[in-house]
Structure 1
Amino acid sequence: MKTHFLKLSALTIGLVVSAAVNAQDKPESPKLFSPASSFNTWSVGISGGMLAPTIFSGQNDFSQWKPELGYGAYIKKQILPAFGIQADFLAGKLKADNSKAWGNGMDPVSPYSSYETKLAYSGSLSTNFTLANIYWMNRQNVVQPYLSAGAGLMSYNIVLKNNAGTETKFNSGENVNEVFIPVGAGLKFSLGNNVNLDLGYTMNFVDGDNMDGFRSGIQNDKFSYSHIGLEFALGSKSKRQLSTYNPVAALEDDYITRNAKLQADLDADRAKHAAHMAQMDADWKRYLNDADKDGVSDYFDKCPNTPAGTQVDGAGCELKVTTNTTVVNPVRVVVTEEDRKVVAEAIRNLEFDFAKSTLRSTSYPSLNRVADLLKSKDFSLKLAGHTDNVGSDAANLKLSKDRAESVKSYLVSQGANSSRIEAVGYGESQPISTNKTAKGRQDNRRVEFTLY
């Protein structure tokens, strides 16, 4: 017993050291609903442990079982996070004798004192069910409890020793081939990226009563394998094992990631809107300053610091008044078709910065011709600003008024008479087209010129 314990301890130390050498940093978890190709689905395992002809308690055909060293290997294909198919290989020895009484106190009655069965090979195909992926310590996968069941074929030979101490080979020394059913349970502990420590127990139910070479009843033989081993995932080190994937944790990670992105986008939109409103206020305020109180904004005033009470033109410069004693018959002002074309062209070419009242330079040439027309024919002009229905009523009303005032200020800066230009804003209240289409909304964003 002591020798077997030392062997098993040495095997355990070797497996743990090997795992430490091969452990890697944990890769990032794949996104929710990732395909199977995002994971490592193939793995191999090696194990060592104790073979015994028992199931926790009770015996087969001999009263005292002896633990022996067994060893195994497997290859597994993970189909789903909780389901895989595994091919196992197992070899080792089984021993028992009749050195103690049965559970009822009676001594064994048998022509044999002991036996030794050597497993030449044992191969089986099993289904493997991962019951859960348990996360501890910062939600890292630690424990994977599992169950397995399958069927296989094994080949073994038996040496019996009778009560006189003579050894006898069962079945004339030929190997016995029998079907068996392995049923197991265990725990896997993640040691690294693609390495797991495997602790398990498997009970193998044999379809016959030949493993100990003696039939003392109608019950078939069975033997157990308690093992410790290592599982190595095959594939890229940057991928994680499908068997360690936790869909619930992935769902939570996806929710947290999406929520953080939405919050960041919302914060960015709020900051952008605040900057836009600040810029609109700054643009509006620069048109309100009038240091010399002559009625012309400092932005357009070409003659600043004019004395108080001085009559000025649209550029803020003093008006030159001449006396003319000649009586001239008044002439009625007539708006010609050519005058209307000048105004229509100015409307077509009128452009502002997006969502602002700032005129673009492309509007200047047409507006210059309107200013010349106002100066040469002494016309009056009404400017009416309109918007679409995007935004609040108050913001649209302010924007339409600001744009009309911006056009007026420019015309005055070119020498037009400020008193003959009226600028009003109607916001979204007078659409000329539908606001349900982009073309309709574009038509509704306008400044109308009425010449009279």
Structure 2
Amino acid sequence: MTKLILRTAFTVILCTSAFLAKAQLGYDYAQYDVGTAVGINYPISTDVTKALKYTPSAQFNFTYNHGPFVNYVFEGQFGSLKAGDPNLGYGRTFENHFWAFALRVQLQAGEVIDYSQSPVANAFKGFYVSTGIGYLVNHVKRGGDNTLPAGVQPPGDTNSQIPYIPLRIGYEIKLFNQYNDPGIKIDLGYQYNRVMDDNLDGYKAGRHNDIFTQFILGIKVGIGGVTSYRKQIYY
């Protein structure tokens, strides 16, 4: 009789554990991500006459996931910016090889919408907005200024360190593993970077600070401890 009771209790515990484990499928996520990305840069507001050029950048990031849809992202990147033509306007040109570091808060739609009852809402849960603060280290090669006497340098700093504000919108594609945890994420983003000075191009002229934008494609991989969300992530 005792053996029967013990066997029955063991079976109940085993079945309960299996049920609870199954019930958590789709609720868990990794607390941290590491990732990399490539970007295409475009200076949209500088002191150099158009003839703007697309240039590349590379990014590395570490993310703390407060939840699957609320993320704190620390990123570093290096790349270049280029614009100008010696035969246009004032003849100004610049080429900036920069380093940048930023801390962003990222809010995805899945945090604020109910995506469990609608395939359309479920598809939109990966859209996000993000902002924060960043820091640029610029090394600019400046060329030409047809309005100045020979040998006279235009005002501006070719080696500057400037804060900037990144404003970003994008979409995160979550790839789920066999436990329905989002282990890999593909990031598609557009970032508007408002520089808090006028030396991004090495020229200081006019009343407006410089601005550049980026199109970004990245990948993140979940690492570290797994924790649970209040609602199912996978549908």
Q: TM-score, normalised by structure 2?
A: 0.71
Contact 1:83 1:129 in 2 (8 A): yes
- Cα 1:235–1:79 shift into 2, 3 Å: same
- Pairing 1:30–2:32 present: no
Q: Give 1:44's aligned residue.
A: 34
- Does 2:115 align with 1:125? no
Select which of 40, 53, 71 maps to 1:66. 53
Unaligned runs of 5+ in 2: 1-20, 178-182
Which runs of 5 or more structure 1 residues have no equivalent in the other structure?
A: 1-26, 101-106, 254-452
Give yes or no for contact 1:145–1:188 (8 Å, CA) kept in 2: yes
> Given the alignment, which residue of 142, 150, 164 partners 2:132?
150
Partner of 1:53: 43
For the structure 1 residues 208 and 140, does the alpha-carbon distance in structure 2 shift closer, same or farther, using more than 3 Å as the test? closer
Q: Is the aligned partner of 1:176 residue 2:176?
A: no
Runs of 4+ in 1 over 6 A off after TM superposition: 139-142, 168-172
Give the secondary-structure state (helix, strand or coil) at the position aligned to 2:110: coil
Sequence identity, in percent?
20
- In the aligned structure 2, how far is the partner of 1:190 from the partner of 1:249? 10
- Is the helix fraction higher in 1 or 2? 1
Query: Shift of the alpha carbon at 1:191?
Result: 3.0
User: Which structure shows the higher strand fraction?
Assistant: 2
Using CA pairs under 8 Å that are at least 6 residues apart, name the structure with larger relative contact order, 1 or 2.
2
CA contact (8 A) 1:48 1:227 kept: yes
Q: Residues 217 and 189 from structure 1, CA distance in 2 versus in 1: closer, same or farther, beyond 3 angstroms?
A: same
1:235 maps to what in 2?
A: 224
Contact 1:45 1:229 in 2 (8 A): yes
Contact 2:193 2:212 in 1 (8 A): yes
**Could you say what the CA RMSD is over the residues aligned between the two structures, in angstroms?**
3.6
Aligned 1:326-337 pairs, distance under 5 A: none
Structure 1 residue identity aligned to 2:173: F
Matched, 1:115 2:97: no
